[in-house]
Structure 1
Protein backbone atom coordinates (compact mmCIF):
# COMPACT_ATOMS: atom_id res chain seq x y z
CA UNK A 1 0.00 0.00 0.00
CA UNK A 2 1.53 3.32 -1.07
CA UNK A 3 1.60 6.29 1.24
CA UNK A 4 0.99 9.92 0.29
CA UNK A 5 4.15 12.01 -0.10
CA UNK A 6 5.08 14.25 2.77
CA UNK A 7 3.95 17.87 2.41
CA UNK A 8 6.54 20.27 0.98
CA UNK A 9 7.47 22.90 3.58
CA UNK A 10 7.13 26.53 2.42
CA UNK A 11 8.32 29.42 4.61
CA UNK A 12 5.66 32.08 5.19
CA UNK A 13 6.83 35.35 6.73
CA UNK A 14 4.25 37.43 8.60
CA UNK A 15 3.69 39.86 11.41
CA UNK A 16 0.75 38.38 13.35
CA UNK A 17 0.06 41.73 15.04
CA UNK A 18 -0.32 43.59 11.73
CA UNK A 19 -3.61 45.37 11.07
CA UNK A 20 -4.58 44.96 14.73
CA UNK A 21 -4.44 41.20 14.44
CA UNK A 22 -6.37 40.88 11.18
CA UNK A 23 -3.45 39.03 9.59
CA UNK A 24 -3.59 36.40 12.35
CA UNK A 25 -7.14 35.48 11.31
CA UNK A 26 -5.87 34.45 7.88
CA UNK A 27 -3.33 31.93 9.19
CA UNK A 28 -5.64 28.93 9.66
CA UNK A 29 -7.38 29.32 6.27
CA UNK A 30 -3.98 29.66 4.61
CA UNK A 31 -2.64 26.53 6.31
CA UNK A 32 -5.71 24.59 5.18
CA UNK A 33 -5.38 25.90 1.62
CA UNK A 34 -1.71 24.96 1.52
CA UNK A 35 -2.51 21.47 2.80
CA UNK A 36 -4.95 21.00 -0.09
CA UNK A 37 -1.92 21.32 -2.39
CA UNK A 38 0.33 19.11 -0.24
CA UNK A 39 2.24 22.12 1.10
CA UNK A 40 3.08 22.87 4.71
CA UNK A 41 3.00 26.56 5.65
CA UNK A 42 5.99 27.07 7.94
CA UNK A 43 5.17 30.26 9.83
CA UNK A 44 8.05 32.65 10.48
CA UNK A 45 7.15 35.70 12.54
CA UNK A 46 8.91 38.99 11.90
CA UNK A 47 9.24 41.83 14.36
CA UNK A 48 9.72 44.60 11.79
CA UNK A 49 9.97 45.16 8.06
CA UNK A 50 13.76 45.13 8.31
CA UNK A 51 13.60 41.82 10.14
CA UNK A 52 11.29 40.38 7.47
CA UNK A 53 13.83 41.33 4.81
CA UNK A 54 16.62 39.69 6.78
CA UNK A 55 14.60 36.50 7.15
CA UNK A 56 13.84 36.43 3.43
CA UNK A 57 17.51 36.94 2.55
CA UNK A 58 18.49 34.10 4.86
CA UNK A 59 16.01 31.73 3.21
CA UNK A 60 17.32 32.76 -0.21
CA UNK A 61 20.89 32.05 0.86
CA UNK A 62 19.77 28.56 1.88
CA UNK A 63 18.42 27.93 -1.61
CA UNK A 64 14.70 28.04 -0.82
CA UNK A 65 12.79 28.10 -4.12
CA UNK A 66 10.00 30.31 -2.76
CA UNK A 67 9.28 32.52 0.27
CA UNK A 68 5.69 33.61 0.88
CA UNK A 69 4.49 36.94 2.26
CA UNK A 70 1.31 37.00 4.35
CA UNK A 71 0.38 40.65 4.76
CA UNK A 72 -0.07 43.85 2.84
CA UNK A 73 2.12 45.73 0.39
CA UNK A 74 4.46 46.82 3.19
CA UNK A 75 5.27 43.21 4.05
CA UNK A 76 5.62 42.35 0.37
CA UNK A 77 8.07 45.23 -0.02
CA UNK A 78 10.08 44.10 3.00
CA UNK A 79 10.39 40.51 1.82
CA UNK A 80 11.14 41.61 -1.74
CA UNK A 81 14.09 43.60 -0.39
CA UNK A 82 15.59 40.36 0.88
CA UNK A 83 14.96 38.46 -2.35
CA UNK A 84 16.08 41.01 -4.97
CA UNK A 85 18.89 39.63 -7.07
CA UNK A 86 18.37 36.03 -5.94
CA UNK A 87 16.80 33.01 -7.63
CA UNK A 88 14.20 32.65 -4.85
CA UNK A 89 10.67 33.55 -5.87
CA UNK A 90 8.28 35.71 -3.88
CA UNK A 91 4.84 34.22 -3.22
CA UNK A 92 2.02 36.34 -1.88
CA UNK A 93 -1.07 35.67 0.23
CA UNK A 94 -3.00 38.92 0.64
CA UNK A 95 -3.41 40.29 4.15
CA UNK A 96 -3.52 44.07 3.73
CA UNK A 97 -6.15 46.69 3.02
CA UNK A 98 -5.17 47.87 -0.44
CA UNK A 99 -3.25 44.88 -1.80
CA UNK A 100 -2.41 46.88 -4.91
CA UNK A 101 0.69 44.96 -5.87
CA UNK A 102 -1.11 41.63 -6.10
CA UNK A 103 -3.83 43.33 -8.08
CA UNK A 104 -1.27 44.37 -10.65
CA UNK A 105 0.17 40.85 -10.75
CA UNK A 106 -3.26 39.27 -11.15
CA UNK A 107 -3.04 37.36 -7.86
CA UNK A 108 -6.51 37.02 -6.27
CA UNK A 109 -7.26 38.05 -2.70
CA UNK A 110 -8.99 34.73 -2.12
CA UNK A 111 -6.69 32.56 0.00
CA UNK A 112 -7.42 29.26 -1.74
CA UNK A 113 -6.88 30.74 -5.21
CA UNK A 114 -3.66 32.42 -4.08
CA UNK A 115 -2.42 29.17 -2.48
CA UNK A 116 -3.02 27.39 -5.79
CA UNK A 117 -0.71 29.93 -7.45
CA UNK A 118 1.99 29.32 -4.83
CA UNK A 119 1.73 25.60 -5.56
CA UNK A 120 1.18 25.55 -9.31
CA UNK A 121 1.99 29.00 -10.68
CA UNK A 122 4.91 30.20 -12.76
CA UNK A 123 7.78 32.49 -11.88
CA UNK A 124 7.92 35.92 -13.48
CA UNK A 125 10.85 38.36 -13.31
CA UNK A 126 9.95 42.01 -12.71
CA UNK A 127 11.56 45.39 -11.99
CA UNK A 128 11.73 47.13 -8.63
CA UNK A 129 12.33 50.75 -7.66
CA UNK A 130 15.41 51.69 -5.66
CA UNK A 131 14.99 54.72 -3.38
CA UNK A 132 18.38 55.54 -1.91
CA UNK A 133 19.02 51.83 -1.45
CA UNK A 134 15.50 50.96 -0.27
CA UNK A 135 13.54 48.54 -2.44
CA UNK A 136 10.06 49.71 -3.46
CA UNK A 137 7.75 47.41 -5.40
CA UNK A 138 4.90 49.63 -6.54
CA UNK A 139 5.12 53.39 -6.47
CA UNK A 140 6.88 56.33 -4.85
CA UNK A 141 4.79 59.46 -4.28
CA UNK A 142 5.16 62.94 -2.83
CA UNK A 143 2.63 65.63 -2.01
CA UNK A 144 -1.09 65.01 -1.82
CA UNK A 145 -0.55 61.27 -1.51
CA UNK A 146 1.10 61.86 1.85
CA UNK A 147 -2.02 63.54 3.21
CA UNK A 148 -4.26 60.85 1.70
CA UNK A 149 -2.20 58.18 3.47
CA UNK A 150 -2.38 60.02 6.80
CA UNK A 151 -6.17 60.24 6.65
CA UNK A 152 -6.49 56.62 5.47
CA UNK A 153 -4.35 55.43 8.36
CA UNK A 154 -6.44 57.41 10.85
CA UNK A 155 -9.63 55.36 10.40
CA UNK A 156 -10.42 51.76 11.24
CA UNK A 157 -14.09 51.28 10.41
CA UNK A 158 -13.77 51.92 6.67
CA UNK A 159 -12.56 48.89 4.73
CA UNK A 160 -10.75 48.16 1.48
CA UNK A 161 -10.29 50.81 -1.19
CA UNK A 162 -13.01 52.95 0.42
CA UNK A 163 -10.52 54.01 3.07
CA UNK A 164 -8.33 55.58 0.39
CA UNK A 165 -11.26 57.35 -1.26
CA UNK A 166 -12.06 58.73 2.19
CA UNK A 167 -8.44 59.89 2.42
CA UNK A 168 -8.73 61.62 -0.97
CA UNK A 169 -11.94 63.39 0.06
CA UNK A 170 -10.36 64.68 3.27
CA UNK A 171 -7.08 65.65 1.61
CA UNK A 172 -8.62 67.90 -1.03
CA UNK A 173 -10.41 69.96 1.64
CA UNK A 174 -7.02 71.42 2.61
CA UNK A 175 -4.70 70.51 -0.24
CA UNK A 176 -0.97 70.88 0.24
CA UNK A 177 1.07 72.25 -2.62
CA UNK A 178 4.68 71.20 -3.00
CA UNK A 179 7.64 72.57 -4.87
CA UNK A 180 10.29 70.22 -6.20
CA UNK A 181 13.51 70.39 -8.14
CA UNK A 182 13.58 67.24 -10.27
CA UNK A 183 16.30 65.84 -12.48
CA UNK A 184 14.66 63.28 -14.77
CA UNK A 185 17.30 61.35 -16.71
CA UNK A 186 19.45 64.45 -16.72
CA UNK A 187 16.66 66.91 -17.56
CA UNK A 188 16.05 69.61 -14.94
CA UNK A 189 12.36 70.15 -14.13
CA UNK A 190 10.95 72.72 -11.69
CA UNK A 191 7.67 71.40 -10.37
CA UNK A 192 4.98 73.23 -8.39
CA UNK A 193 1.73 71.41 -7.80
CA UNK A 194 -0.06 68.83 -5.72
CA UNK A 195 1.43 65.44 -6.42
CA UNK A 196 4.52 63.84 -7.92
CA UNK A 197 4.30 60.12 -8.56
CA UNK A 198 6.91 57.65 -9.78
CA UNK A 199 5.34 54.36 -10.74
CA UNK A 200 6.49 50.81 -11.23
CA UNK A 201 3.11 49.09 -10.83
CA UNK A 202 0.93 52.17 -11.35
CA UNK A 203 -1.73 51.00 -8.86
CA UNK A 204 -2.18 52.44 -5.39
CA UNK A 205 -4.80 53.31 -2.80
CA UNK A 206 -6.77 50.09 -3.14
CA UNK A 207 -7.11 50.19 -6.92
CA UNK A 208 -6.60 53.83 -7.92
CA UNK A 209 -4.60 54.18 -11.12
CA UNK A 210 -1.58 56.43 -10.79
CA UNK A 211 -0.33 55.38 -14.22
CA UNK A 212 -2.75 53.13 -16.10
CA UNK A 213 -0.15 51.97 -18.63
CA UNK A 214 2.68 51.24 -16.17
CA UNK A 215 4.41 47.89 -16.71
CA UNK A 216 6.31 45.87 -14.14
CA UNK A 217 8.92 44.65 -16.59
CA UNK A 218 9.64 47.52 -19.02
CA UNK A 219 12.75 48.83 -17.23
CA UNK A 220 11.18 52.29 -16.83
CA UNK A 221 9.76 54.55 -14.14
CA UNK A 222 6.46 56.20 -15.08
CA UNK A 223 6.65 59.84 -13.94
CA UNK A 224 3.27 61.48 -13.21
CA UNK A 225 3.17 65.15 -12.15
CA UNK A 226 -0.15 66.75 -11.11
CA UNK A 227 0.36 70.47 -11.62
CA UNK A 228 -1.05 73.41 -9.66
CA UNK A 229 -4.78 73.78 -10.41
CA UNK A 230 -7.75 75.50 -8.76
CA UNK A 231 -9.41 73.50 -5.97
CA UNK A 232 -12.63 72.58 -7.89
CA UNK A 233 -10.50 71.39 -10.76
CA UNK A 234 -8.35 69.35 -8.35
CA UNK A 235 -11.39 67.30 -7.34
CA UNK A 236 -12.03 66.51 -11.00
CA UNK A 237 -8.39 65.55 -11.50
CA UNK A 238 -8.51 63.11 -8.59
CA UNK A 239 -11.66 61.46 -9.93
CA UNK A 240 -9.84 61.03 -13.23
CA UNK A 241 -6.93 59.50 -11.30
CA UNK A 242 -9.21 57.00 -9.59
CA UNK A 243 -10.68 55.94 -12.93
CA UNK A 244 -7.41 55.90 -14.83
CA UNK A 245 -8.79 58.47 -17.31
CA UNK A 246 -6.06 61.09 -16.93
CA UNK A 247 -3.54 59.98 -19.53
CA UNK A 248 -4.00 62.96 -21.88
CA UNK A 249 -5.03 65.66 -19.43
CA UNK A 250 -3.30 69.07 -19.77
CA UNK A 251 -2.73 69.50 -16.02
CA UNK A 252 -0.88 66.21 -15.73
CA UNK A 253 2.58 65.60 -17.14
CA UNK A 254 3.56 62.06 -18.07
CA UNK A 255 7.06 60.90 -18.91
CA UNK A 256 9.38 57.92 -18.42
CA UNK A 257 12.77 57.70 -16.77
CA UNK A 258 15.40 55.36 -15.49
CA UNK A 259 16.71 57.70 -12.79
CA UNK A 260 15.19 60.65 -10.95
CA UNK A 261 16.79 62.98 -8.43
CA UNK A 262 14.18 64.60 -6.15
CA UNK A 263 14.79 67.70 -4.01
CA UNK A 264 12.58 70.31 -2.38
CA UNK A 265 12.55 73.72 -4.00
CA UNK A 266 15.24 76.10 -2.79
CA UNK A 267 14.44 77.40 0.68
CA UNK A 268 11.52 74.99 1.20
CA UNK A 269 11.18 72.38 3.92
CA UNK A 270 11.97 68.72 3.03
CA UNK A 271 9.05 66.82 1.51
CA UNK A 272 7.92 63.43 2.83
CA UNK A 273 8.34 60.49 0.47
CA UNK A 274 5.70 57.72 0.44
CA UNK A 275 6.60 54.28 -0.93
CA UNK A 276 3.97 51.53 -1.28
CA UNK A 277 1.71 53.34 1.17
CA UNK A 278 4.32 54.02 3.87
CA UNK A 279 6.36 57.11 4.73
CA UNK A 280 9.94 55.95 4.19
CA UNK A 281 12.11 59.03 3.52
CA UNK A 282 12.36 62.76 2.96
CA UNK A 283 13.86 64.81 0.18
CA UNK A 284 16.48 64.94 -1.17
CA UNK A 285 16.32 61.44 -2.60
CA UNK A 286 17.51 59.48 -5.61
CA UNK A 287 15.23 57.02 -7.35
CA UNK A 288 16.20 54.54 -10.03
CA UNK A 289 14.86 51.38 -11.62
CA UNK A 290 16.41 47.96 -11.10
CA UNK A 291 15.27 45.98 -14.14
CA UNK A 292 14.47 42.26 -13.98
CA UNK A 293 15.68 41.95 -10.40
CA UNK A 294 12.85 40.16 -8.56
CA UNK A 295 11.18 36.80 -9.20
CA UNK A 296 7.50 36.57 -8.24
CA UNK A 297 5.12 33.59 -8.32
CA UNK A 298 2.09 34.40 -10.47
CA UNK A 299 -0.75 32.54 -12.12
CA UNK A 300 -0.13 30.15 -15.00
CA UNK A 301 -1.85 32.54 -17.42
CA UNK A 302 -0.06 35.87 -17.98
CA UNK A 303 -1.90 38.81 -16.42
CA UNK A 304 -3.03 41.60 -18.73
CA UNK A 305 -2.65 44.10 -15.88
CA UNK A 306 1.10 44.32 -15.64
Structure 2
Protein backbone atom coordinates (compact mmCIF):
# COMPACT_ATOMS: atom_id res chain seq x y z
CA UNK A 1 0.00 0.00 0.00
CA UNK A 2 1.35 3.41 -0.93
CA UNK A 3 0.53 6.25 1.45
CA UNK A 4 1.59 9.83 1.74
CA UNK A 5 4.39 10.52 4.19
CA UNK A 6 3.13 12.06 7.44
CA UNK A 7 4.02 15.68 7.91
CA UNK A 8 6.61 16.26 10.63
CA UNK A 9 4.28 18.68 12.41
CA UNK A 10 1.43 16.18 12.38
CA UNK A 11 2.85 13.58 14.76
CA UNK A 12 0.16 14.26 17.37
CA UNK A 13 -2.74 14.24 14.91
CA UNK A 14 -5.07 11.30 14.42
CA UNK A 15 -4.71 9.90 10.90
CA UNK A 16 -7.66 9.47 8.54
CA UNK A 17 -7.13 7.36 5.40
CA UNK A 18 -8.35 9.11 2.25
CA UNK A 19 -8.60 6.97 -0.89
CA UNK A 20 -8.59 9.10 -4.02
CA UNK A 21 -9.03 8.63 -7.72
CA UNK A 22 -6.21 10.68 -9.28
CA UNK A 23 -7.95 10.89 -12.67
CA UNK A 24 -11.43 11.89 -11.40
CA UNK A 25 -12.79 14.79 -13.47
CA UNK A 26 -9.77 14.41 -15.76
CA UNK A 27 -7.35 15.04 -12.91
CA UNK A 28 -9.18 18.02 -11.41
CA UNK A 29 -9.39 16.17 -8.10
CA UNK A 30 -5.68 16.94 -7.61
CA UNK A 31 -6.63 20.59 -7.02
CA UNK A 32 -8.69 19.55 -4.01
CA UNK A 33 -5.83 17.87 -2.16
CA UNK A 34 -4.17 20.94 -0.60
CA UNK A 35 -7.43 22.50 0.71
CA UNK A 36 -8.47 19.05 1.93
CA UNK A 37 -5.27 18.62 3.93
CA UNK A 38 -5.67 22.10 5.41
CA UNK A 39 -9.29 21.38 6.35
CA UNK A 40 -8.31 18.16 8.12
CA UNK A 41 -5.49 19.93 9.96
CA UNK A 42 -7.97 22.56 11.18
CA UNK A 43 -9.80 19.73 12.98
CA UNK A 44 -6.60 18.28 14.43
CA UNK A 45 -6.55 15.43 11.91
CA UNK A 46 -4.09 14.25 9.26
CA UNK A 47 -5.36 13.12 5.87
CA UNK A 48 -3.27 10.13 4.80
CA UNK A 49 -3.70 10.07 1.01
CA UNK A 50 -3.77 6.79 -0.90
CA UNK A 51 -4.11 6.77 -4.70
CA UNK A 52 -6.17 3.91 -6.11
CA UNK A 53 -5.15 2.33 -9.39
CA UNK A 54 -8.54 0.77 -10.13
CA UNK A 55 -11.96 0.22 -8.59
CA UNK A 56 -10.88 -3.19 -7.31
CA UNK A 57 -7.75 -1.65 -5.83
CA UNK A 58 -9.88 0.96 -4.03
CA UNK A 59 -12.09 -1.82 -2.64
CA UNK A 60 -9.07 -3.78 -1.46
CA UNK A 61 -7.52 -0.71 0.17
CA UNK A 62 -10.74 0.10 2.02
CA UNK A 63 -11.07 -3.50 3.24
CA UNK A 64 -7.47 -3.45 4.46
CA UNK A 65 -8.01 -0.25 6.44
CA UNK A 66 -11.19 -1.73 7.94
CA UNK A 67 -9.30 -4.90 8.92
CA UNK A 68 -6.75 -2.70 10.70
CA UNK A 69 -9.57 -1.18 12.75
CA UNK A 70 -9.80 2.24 11.09
CA UNK A 71 -12.97 3.95 12.39
CA UNK A 72 -13.51 5.74 9.07
CA UNK A 73 -12.20 5.58 5.48
CA UNK A 74 -12.79 8.58 3.22
CA UNK A 75 -13.45 8.53 -0.53
CA UNK A 76 -12.20 11.50 -2.59
CA UNK A 77 -13.63 11.12 -6.08
CA UNK A 78 -16.93 10.55 -7.83
CA UNK A 79 -19.78 8.10 -7.31
CA UNK A 80 -17.76 5.30 -8.91
CA UNK A 81 -15.06 5.60 -6.26
CA UNK A 82 -17.69 5.85 -3.52
CA UNK A 83 -19.11 2.56 -4.79
CA UNK A 84 -15.68 0.93 -4.83
CA UNK A 85 -14.70 2.09 -1.33
CA UNK A 86 -18.12 1.13 0.03
CA UNK A 87 -17.65 -2.38 -1.33
CA UNK A 88 -14.62 -2.78 0.91
CA UNK A 89 -16.48 -1.52 3.99
CA UNK A 90 -19.80 -3.38 3.71
CA UNK A 91 -20.36 -5.58 6.73
CA UNK A 92 -17.63 -3.90 8.82
CA UNK A 93 -17.75 -1.37 11.63
CA UNK A 94 -15.74 1.14 9.62
CA UNK A 95 -17.67 4.15 8.36
CA UNK A 96 -17.52 5.58 4.86
CA UNK A 97 -16.69 9.28 4.67
CA UNK A 98 -17.16 11.14 1.39
CA UNK A 99 -15.46 14.22 -0.07
CA UNK A 100 -16.84 15.19 -3.47
CA UNK A 101 -14.37 14.95 -6.32
CA UNK A 102 -16.39 13.74 -9.29
CA UNK A 103 -18.90 15.15 -11.73
CA UNK A 104 -22.30 14.00 -10.54
CA UNK A 105 -21.70 13.41 -6.81
CA UNK A 106 -25.27 12.17 -6.45
CA UNK A 107 -24.87 9.97 -3.42
CA UNK A 108 -23.68 12.81 -1.20
CA UNK A 109 -26.71 14.82 -2.28
CA UNK A 110 -28.95 12.14 -0.84
CA UNK A 111 -26.95 12.10 2.38
CA UNK A 112 -26.89 15.88 2.76
CA UNK A 113 -23.11 16.16 2.41
CA UNK A 114 -22.07 19.43 0.70
CA UNK A 115 -19.56 19.62 -2.13
CA UNK A 116 -17.56 22.27 -0.28
CA UNK A 117 -14.37 20.67 1.02
CA UNK A 118 -14.22 22.39 4.41
CA UNK A 119 -17.88 21.61 5.13
CA UNK A 120 -17.49 17.97 4.08
CA UNK A 121 -14.35 17.53 6.19
CA UNK A 122 -16.21 19.01 9.16
CA UNK A 123 -18.74 16.19 8.75
CA UNK A 124 -15.95 13.60 8.65
CA UNK A 125 -14.59 15.08 11.87
CA UNK A 126 -17.82 15.80 13.75
CA UNK A 127 -20.70 14.05 12.00
CA UNK A 128 -22.59 10.97 13.09
CA UNK A 129 -22.62 7.45 11.69
CA UNK A 130 -25.73 6.20 9.94
CA UNK A 131 -26.39 2.63 8.81
CA UNK A 132 -27.88 2.25 5.33
CA UNK A 133 -28.80 -0.38 2.75
CA UNK A 134 -26.82 -1.16 -0.40
CA UNK A 135 -27.72 -2.88 -3.65
CA UNK A 136 -25.99 -6.11 -4.63
CA UNK A 137 -25.67 -6.75 -8.38
CA UNK A 138 -24.41 -10.32 -8.62
CA UNK A 139 -21.87 -9.59 -5.90
CA UNK A 140 -21.06 -6.02 -6.99
CA UNK A 141 -22.00 -3.41 -4.41
CA UNK A 142 -23.96 -0.36 -5.59
CA UNK A 143 -24.83 2.51 -3.26
CA UNK A 144 -27.18 4.47 -5.52
CA UNK A 145 -28.97 2.92 -8.48
CA UNK A 146 -28.85 0.16 -11.06
CA UNK A 147 -30.39 0.98 -14.44
CA UNK A 148 -30.79 -0.24 -18.00
CA UNK A 149 -31.83 1.39 -21.26
CA UNK A 150 -32.26 5.12 -21.50
CA UNK A 151 -30.05 5.90 -18.50
CA UNK A 152 -27.13 4.18 -20.19
CA UNK A 153 -27.63 6.25 -23.34
CA UNK A 154 -28.01 9.45 -21.31
CA UNK A 155 -24.71 8.67 -19.58
CA UNK A 156 -22.99 8.17 -22.96
CA UNK A 157 -24.10 11.61 -24.18
CA UNK A 158 -23.32 13.28 -20.83
CA UNK A 159 -19.80 11.88 -20.88
CA UNK A 160 -19.28 13.19 -24.40
CA UNK A 161 -19.52 16.90 -23.47
CA UNK A 162 -17.25 19.07 -21.34
CA UNK A 163 -18.69 22.59 -21.47
CA UNK A 164 -22.07 21.85 -19.89
CA UNK A 165 -21.95 21.67 -16.08
CA UNK A 166 -23.94 20.13 -13.24
CA UNK A 167 -27.28 18.45 -13.83
CA UNK A 168 -27.66 20.37 -17.12
CA UNK A 169 -25.26 17.95 -18.76
CA UNK A 170 -27.64 15.10 -17.92
CA UNK A 171 -30.72 17.00 -19.12
CA UNK A 172 -28.78 17.46 -22.36
CA UNK A 173 -28.19 13.71 -22.34
CA UNK A 174 -31.93 13.07 -21.83
CA UNK A 175 -32.87 15.24 -24.82
CA UNK A 176 -30.27 13.59 -27.06
CA UNK A 177 -31.15 10.08 -25.88
CA UNK A 178 -34.80 10.32 -26.91
CA UNK A 179 -34.08 11.49 -30.49
CA UNK A 180 -34.79 8.71 -31.35
CA UNK A 181 -34.89 6.59 -28.19
CA UNK A 182 -33.44 3.10 -27.93
CA UNK A 183 -35.97 0.59 -26.63
CA UNK A 184 -35.28 -2.42 -24.45
CA UNK A 185 -37.20 -5.65 -23.96
CA UNK A 186 -36.72 -7.38 -20.62
CA UNK A 187 -37.97 -10.43 -18.81
CA UNK A 188 -38.08 -9.39 -15.16
CA UNK A 189 -38.72 -11.54 -12.10
CA UNK A 190 -39.71 -9.18 -9.30
CA UNK A 191 -39.89 -10.96 -5.95
CA UNK A 192 -40.88 -14.13 -7.79
CA UNK A 193 -43.43 -12.49 -10.11
CA UNK A 194 -42.58 -12.64 -13.82
CA UNK A 195 -43.03 -9.38 -15.72
CA UNK A 196 -42.47 -8.82 -19.44
CA UNK A 197 -41.32 -5.26 -20.02
CA UNK A 198 -40.80 -3.32 -23.24
CA UNK A 199 -39.95 0.33 -22.96
CA UNK A 200 -37.19 2.88 -22.60
CA UNK A 201 -35.69 2.38 -19.17
CA UNK A 202 -35.70 0.12 -16.12
CA UNK A 203 -34.28 1.48 -12.88
CA UNK A 204 -33.70 -0.17 -9.51
CA UNK A 205 -32.98 2.48 -6.91
CA UNK A 206 -31.52 2.75 -3.45
CA UNK A 207 -30.77 6.47 -3.29
CA UNK A 208 -33.05 7.48 -6.17
CA UNK A 209 -30.72 10.27 -7.37
CA UNK A 210 -28.55 10.36 -10.48
CA UNK A 211 -27.14 12.72 -13.08
CA UNK A 212 -25.96 15.53 -10.79
CA UNK A 213 -29.20 15.89 -8.83
CA UNK A 214 -31.88 14.43 -11.10
CA UNK A 215 -34.41 12.16 -9.43
CA UNK A 216 -35.04 8.59 -10.52
CA UNK A 217 -37.25 7.95 -7.48
CA UNK A 218 -37.77 11.01 -5.24
CA UNK A 219 -39.27 8.98 -2.38
CA UNK A 220 -36.50 6.36 -2.29
CA UNK A 221 -35.10 5.73 1.19
CA UNK A 222 -31.64 4.46 2.02
CA UNK A 223 -32.73 2.41 5.02
CA UNK A 224 -36.14 0.88 4.21
CA UNK A 225 -34.82 -2.53 3.11
CA UNK A 226 -36.44 -2.12 -0.32
CA UNK A 227 -35.43 -1.59 -3.94
CA UNK A 228 -37.45 1.11 -5.70
CA UNK A 229 -38.45 -0.25 -9.11
CA UNK A 230 -39.00 2.41 -11.82
CA UNK A 231 -40.07 1.31 -15.31
CA UNK A 232 -40.36 3.86 -18.11
CA UNK A 233 -42.81 2.46 -20.65
CA UNK A 234 -43.00 3.24 -24.35
CA UNK A 235 -45.34 5.95 -25.57
CA UNK A 236 -46.07 8.85 -27.92
CA UNK A 237 -42.68 10.53 -28.18
CA UNK A 238 -43.57 14.26 -27.76
CA UNK A 239 -45.68 13.54 -24.66
CA UNK A 240 -43.10 11.13 -23.37
CA UNK A 241 -40.35 13.72 -23.78
CA UNK A 242 -42.26 16.27 -21.71
CA UNK A 243 -43.01 13.67 -19.04
CA UNK A 244 -39.40 12.54 -18.94
CA UNK A 245 -37.94 16.01 -18.45
CA UNK A 246 -40.40 16.67 -15.60
CA UNK A 247 -39.67 13.21 -14.23
CA UNK A 248 -35.92 13.74 -14.07
CA UNK A 249 -36.32 16.92 -12.00
CA UNK A 250 -38.53 15.10 -9.53
CA UNK A 251 -42.02 16.27 -10.54
CA UNK A 252 -43.65 12.85 -10.39
CA UNK A 253 -46.98 13.72 -8.80
CA UNK A 254 -49.25 16.66 -8.07
CA UNK A 255 -50.83 16.02 -4.70
CA UNK A 256 -52.17 12.46 -4.86
CA UNK A 257 -52.50 12.49 -8.65
CA UNK A 258 -49.97 10.58 -10.71
CA UNK A 259 -48.39 12.86 -13.27
CA UNK A 260 -46.73 10.29 -15.53
CA UNK A 261 -48.88 7.41 -16.82
CA UNK A 262 -45.89 5.98 -18.70
CA UNK A 263 -43.86 5.52 -15.52
CA UNK A 264 -44.46 2.56 -13.23
CA UNK A 265 -43.29 2.57 -9.61
CA UNK A 266 -42.96 -0.42 -7.30
CA UNK A 267 -40.83 -2.00 -4.59
CA UNK A 268 -38.94 -5.26 -4.32
CA UNK A 269 -36.27 -7.10 -2.42
CA UNK A 270 -34.94 -9.08 -5.37
CA UNK A 271 -35.14 -8.52 -9.12
CA UNK A 272 -33.79 -10.86 -11.77
CA UNK A 273 -33.15 -9.06 -15.06
CA UNK A 274 -32.83 -10.79 -18.42
CA UNK A 275 -33.22 -9.79 -22.05
CA UNK A 276 -36.26 -11.34 -23.66
CA UNK A 277 -35.70 -14.57 -25.54
CA UNK A 278 -33.75 -14.01 -28.75
CA UNK A 279 -32.76 -10.43 -27.86
CA UNK A 280 -29.21 -9.15 -27.42
CA UNK A 281 -27.90 -8.68 -23.86
CA UNK A 282 -28.61 -5.25 -22.37
CA UNK A 283 -25.93 -3.11 -20.70
CA UNK A 284 -26.36 -2.50 -16.97
CA UNK A 285 -25.23 0.76 -15.35
CA UNK A 286 -24.50 1.04 -11.62
CA UNK A 287 -23.91 4.44 -10.00
CA UNK A 288 -23.20 5.97 -13.40
CA UNK A 289 -20.81 3.32 -14.72
CA UNK A 290 -21.45 0.43 -17.11
CA UNK A 291 -20.57 -2.63 -15.02
CA UNK A 292 -22.39 -5.67 -16.44
CA UNK A 293 -24.84 -7.09 -18.97
CA UNK A 294 -28.01 -9.11 -18.63
CA UNK A 295 -28.79 -11.57 -17.20
CA UNK A 296 -28.19 -10.40 -13.65
CA UNK A 297 -29.87 -10.26 -10.27
CA UNK A 298 -30.24 -7.23 -8.00
CA UNK A 299 -30.89 -7.73 -4.30
CA UNK A 300 -31.02 -5.42 -1.31
CA UNK A 301 -28.58 -5.80 1.57
CA UNK A 302 -30.29 -4.04 4.48
CA UNK A 303 -28.35 -2.07 7.07
CA UNK A 304 -24.99 -3.24 5.77
CA UNK A 305 -22.95 -0.02 5.41
CA UNK A 306 -22.08 2.74 7.85
CA UNK A 307 -21.71 6.25 6.41
CA UNK A 308 -20.59 9.47 8.11
CA UNK A 309 -23.31 12.07 7.66
CA UNK A 310 -24.23 15.51 9.01
CA UNK A 311 -25.48 15.41 12.58
CA UNK A 312 -28.99 16.31 11.40
CA UNK A 313 -29.11 15.31 7.72
CA UNK A 314 -32.45 14.78 5.97
CA UNK A 315 -33.70 11.23 6.05
* Pair in the same fold by TM > 0.5: yes
2:101 is the alignment partner of 1:90: no
Give SS of 1:219's match.
coil
Query: Which residue is equivalent to 1:29?
Result: 35
* Residues 86-125 of structure 1, C-alpha deviations (whole Å, 9 max, x = no match): 0000000000111100000000111000000000000000
CA distance in 1, matches of 2:119, 2:10: 23
Query: Which residue is equivalent to 2:225?
Result: 219
TM-score (norm 2): 0.94
Give SS of 1:147's match.
helix
Q: Would you say the 8 A contact 2:100–2:108 is kept in 1?
A: yes
2:176 is the alignment partner of 1:179: no
CA distance in 1, matches of 2:218, 2:288: 18
**Mapping for residues 110-259 of structure 1, pairs under 5 Å:** 110-247=116-253, 248=258, 249-259=260-270
Query: Which residue is equivalent to 1:105?
Result: 111
CA distance in 1, matches of 2:134, 2:76: 19
Give SS of 2:123's match.
helix
CA distance in 2, matches of 1:18, 1:288: 29
Give SS of 2:66's match.
helix
CA distance in 1, matches of 2:103, 2:166: 5
Cα distance, 1:84 vs structure 2: 0.2
* Residues 110-151 of structure 1, C-alpha deviations (whole Å, 9 max, x = no match): 100000000000000000000000000000010000100001
Query: Which residue is equivalent to 1:264?
Result: 275
Q: Would you say the 8 A contact 2:171–2:245 is kept in 1?
A: no
CA distance in 2, matches of 1:270, 1:4: 53
- Unpaired runs of 5+ residues, structure 2, are 1-8
Query: Which residue is equivalent to 1:289?
Result: 300
Matched positions, count: 302
2:24 is the alignment partner of 1:18: yes
Cα distance, 1:240 vs structure 2: 2.0
Q: Match for 1:6 among 8, 12, 25?
A: 12
Give SS of 2:129's match.
strand
RMSD across aligned positions (CA): 1.3
TM-score (norm 1): 0.96
Give SS of 1:24's match.
helix
